């Protein structure tokens, strides 16, 4: 429940923007990511102990990092590992949409909404948005803008002590959200790189 471990009285956040007189909470209330993926992630090697600031930098660098991976391989986004559901381009669409959705959740709570956020189905969203038909240039455009919005939402949320309640992940402090978002971008870069390697073998 909210308030366990002495954190996260999200109901205190009211009236538009986050209050600025509440000390920033840099602590974590969730071990969802470590439990699900391992620490470090047994696939991509992500270290869940990454600091709040380093995790933000990692997310902010994602468009540049993805662009470099694509340029190095001269990839067009259609590359695919047969073991994976999505192509390279679809992963980029997903990371952009995921950042946008988490930014929206943070912004809502900062503006006085309930701390309980809804989950979304990434597979259904991929179908509804027809990820496989979105050009890589367009996907990268969306990713760049989603990350900019995400950074602004995190900065706004950083001035207070919020805990989101997610149906699958449970309580999520801002640090938990930032780390899990950083992991999503990092893990999918790993997926993109192995998709490109698989594509070059076929
Ligand atoms: Zn991972």
Distance from Cα 38 to the centre of ligand 1, integer Å: 8
Q: Which domain holds residue 125?
A: 34-201
Helix extents (H) in the chain: 32-37, 52-60, 62-73, 88-110, 122-129, 136-157, 174-201
Position 108 in a domain = yes
Please report the DSSP string for 58-94 in residue order: HHHTHHHHHHHHHHHHT--S----TTSSS-HHHHHHH
Structural contact between residues 5 and 170, judged by C-beta atoms closer than 8 angstroms? no
CA–centroid distance, 41 to ligand 1, in Å, is 5
Q: What letters, b where the CB count within 10 A reaches 16 and e where it falls short, cover 68-95?
A: eebeebebebebbbeeeebbbbbbbbbb
Task: Give residue 179 CA to ligand 1 midpoint distance, Å.
Answer: 11
Q: Residues of the chain with pLDDT > 90: what percent?
A: 75
Number of independent structural domains in the chain: 1
Dist. CA 198 → ligand 1 center (Å): 19
Q: What is the pTM of this model?
A: 0.86
pLDDT digits (tens, 9 = 90+) for 10-31: 334 344 456 544 444 457 778 8
Please check whether residue 22 lies inside any domain of the structure: no
Q: Is residue 125 part of a domain?
A: yes
- Specify if 144 maps to a domain: yes
* Domain annotation covers residue 84: yes
């Amino acid at each position: 429940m909210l308030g366990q471990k002495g954190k996260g009285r999200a109901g205190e956040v009211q009236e538009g923007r986050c209050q600025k007189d509440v000390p920033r909470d840099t602590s974590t209330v969730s071990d969802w990511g470590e439990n699900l993926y391992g620490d470090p992630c047994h696939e991509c090697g992500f270290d869940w102990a990454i600091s709040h600031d380093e995790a933000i930098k990692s997310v902010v660098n994602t468009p540049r990092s993805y662009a470099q991976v694509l340029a190095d391989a001269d990839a067009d986004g259609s590359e695919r590992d047969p073991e994976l559901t999505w192509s390279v381009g679809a992963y980029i669409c997903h990371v952009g949409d995921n950042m946008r959705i988490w930014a929206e959740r943070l912004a809502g709570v900062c503006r006085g909404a309930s701390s309980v956020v809804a989950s979304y189905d990434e597979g259904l969203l991929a179908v509804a948005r027809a990820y496989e038909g979105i050009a890589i240039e367009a996907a990268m455009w969306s990713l760049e803008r989603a990350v900019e919005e995400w950074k602004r939402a995190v900065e706004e949320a950083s001035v207070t002590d919020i805990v989101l309640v997610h149906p699958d992940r449970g309580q999520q402090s801002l640090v938990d959200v930032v780390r899990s978002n950083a992991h999503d971008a990092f893990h999918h870069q790993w997926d993109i790189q192995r998709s490109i390697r698989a594509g070059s073998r076929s």
